[in-house]
Each structure stands twice: as structure tokens, then as C-alpha cells.
């Protein structure tokens, strides 16, 4: 089932939380809504679900306007971070709930319910927990049961709001992989909200990057990472070094000579050299920190005292350290392998009287 969002506007007071959003999610896609806190992700998801009403614009399911369709008729399954399981029901009954509350005419028989629930519990690999109660499960197990419960009614659309938000890093990673597999097996259209760029990059077919109620960019993980449309997207999707400057020969053709250009280089896109080379920046090593398989080096530029971060595989760092005698205090040159440039738009001059 495809989902189409057209000219969607939602305000809370004067704040435009969805500022004229347009978005098409194709049938069978797994899409991440990615953005910082307050960017409007949850509100958009809730409007798609029918839990929140838009001020204007529409949501189409499979081409049909669903704006006025009630939540339970939308055939949507939800998993929310704080959408707890029913504590007084065992796991089996939690998953069976959506089937038991169906109108008599469409309610499956007891045998059908049993078979279906056990199938779902096997799918989430927790059938051995059927008789337990939610408080006897770990956080990760509870989230998997919440997913099984959402899937019990065979939704065409699965909406997930930070489903793994409260879990520790290792469990999150497992559940991501597992969500991806489940999505593919169930042939649903899934939309999930996250503020974690790794989660979005790892799981989604497509990432919709949101900021202040607007869509900054919409594309595959590779597109948004390698070809960010805006400085916001570039900075939100990973660490980056910034260099300010005026337009020179190397800037784009549409820039006036007065434009400020910001050059962005990701830490892993800098090469460390033992001697000067055109385009390389001189810096002094401040410290080296090894985190997992990578080493992060902090350099201080010799020309303006700003900092530059470089990241490289630990083995490469150890080889370089040997080769260049690299240790805190030593000098090296940093050559960008790849840069991204954006022209800074000068801020509109403010009328001081209007600010009082
Ligand atoms: N019912 C409400 N009444 C007033 N303001 C609201 C309401 N719901 C959300 N907001 C505001 O709308 C903005 C967007 O909220 P929303 O929850 O959609 O953002 P989000 O991107 O999902 O953020 P988070 O990652 O923190 O959940 C926030 O500034 C929030 O305070």
C-alpha cells in the first residue's frame, strides 16, 4: 500500500510543525523519518496513522484520500516506544488482542487465533515466552512482542515511532537487522521515526531528513550521505570538519565574489602526510583516541588554531605512527580526499526596532 502526503500543514499555535510537506512512500518500502528532536517526525507519523488531524493537506493510502478515514479502518499497525504491552495479559493474549476485539463477523475462530499467534511468536523467535507476562521479559523482547502484536491484524502499513529508542546499543543493533528482515517477509509498507542516523542508514530503503517541520532531503541512504542537499543534512548524517572562506577559483559558477563558502570534510576523508603538499593543511597532533576499530586524531591547525578531526582504521594509524613518528605535539599535513562546499546565504539584515 503506497502512502502519499500532499501539502500537509500542521501548526501548534504559531509553530509550523509540518510546513507544507509532500512525500510519496511506495508500496513495500521501508522509510525512515530522520531528524533532530522537535523536527516534526512524530507529528507526521501520527497524522499518517490518523491519530492527529492536519490543519490542511491530505494523506492518500493507495491513491485514496484517507484524511477522513478513522484510525481503525486504515489498516495500520503501530509500534511506539512507550506503547506498553498490557501488563495483566500474558504474551499470547497480548498478541491475540487485535484479533479478539474484531467484530464477530470477521473474528477468526479460537483455533485460528491460536495458530496465528503462535506463528507470529515464532516469527519474532519468542514462542517459548507465550505464557509469560510482560514484566518477565527484557526490553528487547517486549519490543519484539509489540511488533508481533502490531502485525497480528495483518496491517498493510506499519508505523514505528522510535521503536528501539529505550534499548541498549547492542540490542538496538540486533533489532534493526531483525526489523529489516521482518519487513521484507511481511510485504508491508513501513515508516519509522528515528533521530539516530546510523539506525536510518542501516535499516531504511529511503531516508527522509526533517528539520523544523520541513523535508530537507529525501533519498536513498547513499544519496543523502554522499550527496547531501543542504549543510543541515551533511552535518546531521555524521561528524564533519568545517572550513570557512571566501569564494575563490575553486568555488561554483553561481557564486558572487562576496559569497562566503563553507567547505566540509568528513574526518575519514582526510589523508595524513609527513610533508607539505598543495592543498594540504598543516596541523599539530593534540591527541589520539582509539574507539573500537578506529582511531580519532585531533589536530590543531597552525594557521588559525582551529581543530581538525581525522579518523582512520586503527591499523592504519599504527603504521602511520611508525612511519611518520606521529605523536602528540608532532606536525603533519592533512589533505582532503573529498570535500563538499556550500555557499552561505547571508542573513537578512534585521530591523532592530522589530526585535524589541
Ligand atoms: N500536542 C501538542 N501541542 C503543542 N505542541 C506540540 C504538540 N505535539 C508536538 N508539539 C510540538 O511540535 C514540535 C514537533 O514535535 P514532534 O513530536 O513531531 O517532533 P519530533 O521530531 O518527533 O521530536 P522527538 O524526536 O523529540 O519526538 C515540537 O516542538 C513539539 O513541542
Q: How far is the CA of 237 from the centre of ligand 1 (A)?
A: 21
Choose which residue among 17, 36, 48, 192 to substitute to test ligand 1 binding: the one with the highest number of ligand atoms within 8 A of its C-beta.
Answer: 17
Residue 195 vs residue 353, higher pLDDT: 195
Question: How far apart (Å, rounded) are the C-alpha atoms in residues 195 and 33?
Answer: 8
Question: Per-residue pLDDT tens for 18-49?
Answer: 999 999 999 999 999 999 999 999 999 999 98
Question: Per-residue pLDDT tens for 102-123?
Answer: 888 888 899 999 999 998 898 8
Looking at residue 84, its pLDDT comes to 75
Residues paired with residue 290 on neighbouring β-strands, in sequence order:
295
State the fold for domain 241-343. Answer: OB fold (Dihydrolipoamide Acetyltransferase, E2P) (2.40.50)
Looking at residue 260, its pLDDT comes to 85
Taking CA atoms only, the protein residue closest to ligand 1 atom 28 is 38
Taking CA atoms only, the protein residue closest to ligand 1 atom 25 is 37
Question: How many Cα neighbours within 13 Å face the side chain of 57?
Answer: 22
Extended beta strands in the chain, E state: 3-12, 15-25, 30-34, 56-61, 64-65, 76-80, 157-161, 189-194, 206-211, 214-219, 241-246, 260-265, 270-273, 281-291, 294-301, 307-313, 331-336, 340-344
Question: Per-residue pLDDT tens for 332-354?
Answer: 999 999 999 888 765 554 444 44
Contact of 236 with 197, CB cutoff 8 Å: yes
What's the chain's average pLDDT?
87
Looking at residue 257, its pLDDT comes to 52
Contact of 118 with 131, CB cutoff 8 Å: no
Ligand 1 pocket: which residues have CB below 6 Å?
Answer: 12, 17, 35, 37-43, 195
Confidence at 251, pLDDT banded by 50, 70, 90: very low
Looking at domain 3-236, its CATH class is alpha beta
Question: What atom in ligand 1 is closest to the CA of residue 46?
Answer: 18
Confidence at 249, pLDDT banded by 50, 70, 90: very low
Mean per-residue pLDDT for 203-211?
Answer: 96
List where CATH 2.40.50.140 sits in the chain: 241-343
Choose which residue among 40, 55, 161 to substitute to test ligand 1 binding: the one with the highest number of ligand atoms within 8 A of its C-beta.
Answer: 40
For the chain, state the CA radius of gyration: 25
pTM: predicted TM-score of the whole model, two decimal places: 0.84
Q: For residue 197, give the C-alpha cell.
A: 542516523
Q: For residue 129, give the C-alpha cell.
A: 515466552
Q: How far is the CA of 48 from the centre of ligand 1 (A)?
A: 15
Confidence at 82, pLDDT banded by 50, 70, 90: low
Q: Name the range with the highest mean pLDDT among 62-71, 220-229, 253-262, 299-308.
A: 220-229
List where CATH 3.40.50.300 sits in the chain: 3-236
Percent of the chain beyond pLDDT 90?
53
Question: What atom in ligand 1 is closest to the CA of residue 45?
Answer: 18
Question: Per-residue pLDDT tens for 132-183?
Answer: 999 998 888 888 898 888 888 888 899 999 887 767 777 778 878 888 888 8
Closest CA to 34 of 210, 172, 198: 210
Question: Per-residue pLDDT tens for 299-323?
Answer: 999 888 889 999 999 999 999 999 9
Confidence at 83, pLDDT banded by 50, 70, 90: low
Q: What are phi and psi of 74, to 5 degrees?
A: -85, -10
Q: Is the pLDDT of residue 265 over 70?
A: yes
Contact of 234 with 39, CB cutoff 8 Å: no
Q: How far is the CA of 29 from the centre of ligand 1 (A)?
A: 25
Q: For residue 340, give the C-alpha cell.
A: 563538499
Amino acid at each position: 500500500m503506497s502512502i502519499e502526503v500532499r501539502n500537509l500543514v500542521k501548526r501548534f499555535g504559531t509553530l509550523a510543525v509540518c510546513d507544507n510537506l509532500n512525500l510519496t512512500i511506495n508500496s513495500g518500502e521501508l522509510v525512515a523519518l530522520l531528524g533532530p528532536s522537535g523536527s516534526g517526525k512524530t507529528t507526521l507519523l501520527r497524522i499518517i496513522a490518523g491519530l492527529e488531524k492536519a490543519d490542511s493537506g491530505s494523506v492518500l493510502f493507495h491513491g485514496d484520500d484517507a484524511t477522513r478515514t478513522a484510525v481503525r479502518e486504515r489498516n495500520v499497525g503501530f509500534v511506539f516506544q512507550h506503547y506498553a504491552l498490557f501488563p495483566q495479559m500474558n504474551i499470547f493474549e497480548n498478541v491475540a488482542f487485535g484479533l479478539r476485539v474484531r467484530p464477530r463477523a470477521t473474528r477468526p475462530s479460537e483455533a485460528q487465533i491460536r495458530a496465528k499467534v503462535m506463528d507470529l511468536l515464532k516469527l519474532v523467535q519468542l514462542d517459548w515466552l507465550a505464557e509469560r507476562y510482560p514484566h518477565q521479559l527484557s526490553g528487547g523482547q517486549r519490543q519484539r512482542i509489540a511488533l508481533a502484536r502490531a502485525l497480528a491484524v495483518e496491517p498493510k502499513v506499519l508505523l514505528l515511532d522510535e521503536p528501539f529508542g529505550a534499548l541498549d546499543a547492542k540490542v538496538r543493533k540486533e533489532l534493526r537487522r531483525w526489523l529489516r528482515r521482518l519487513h521484507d517477509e511481511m510485504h508491508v509498507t513501513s515508516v519509522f521515526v528515528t533521530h539516530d542516523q546510523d539506525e536510518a542508514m542501516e535499516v531504511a530503503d529511503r531516508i527522509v531528513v526533517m528539520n523544523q517541520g520541513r523535508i530537507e532531503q529525501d533519498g536513498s541512504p547513499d544519496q543523502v550521505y554522499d550527496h547531501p542537499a543542504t549543510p543541515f543534512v551533511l552535518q546531521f548524517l555524521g561528524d564533519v570538519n568545517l572550513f570557512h572562506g571566501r569564494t575563490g577559483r575553486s568555488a561554483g559558477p553561481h557564486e558572487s565574489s562576496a559569497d562566503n563558502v563553507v567547505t566540509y570534510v568528513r574526518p575519514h576523508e582526510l589523508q595524513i602526510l609527513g610533508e607539505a603538499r598543495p592543498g594540504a593543511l598543516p596541523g599539530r597532533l593534540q591527541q589520539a583516541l582509539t574507539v573500537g576499530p578506529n582511531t580519532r586524531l585531533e589536530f590543531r591547525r597552525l594557521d588559525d588554531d582551529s581543530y581538525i578531526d581525522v579518523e582512520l582504521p586503527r591499523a592504519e594509524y599504527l603504521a602511520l605512527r611508525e612511519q611518520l613518528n606521529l605523536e602528540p605535539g608532532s606536525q603533519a599535513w592533512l589533505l582532503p580526499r573529498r570535500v563538499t562546499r556550500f555557499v552561505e546565504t547571508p542573513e537578512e539584515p534585521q530591523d532592530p526596532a522589530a526585535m524589541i
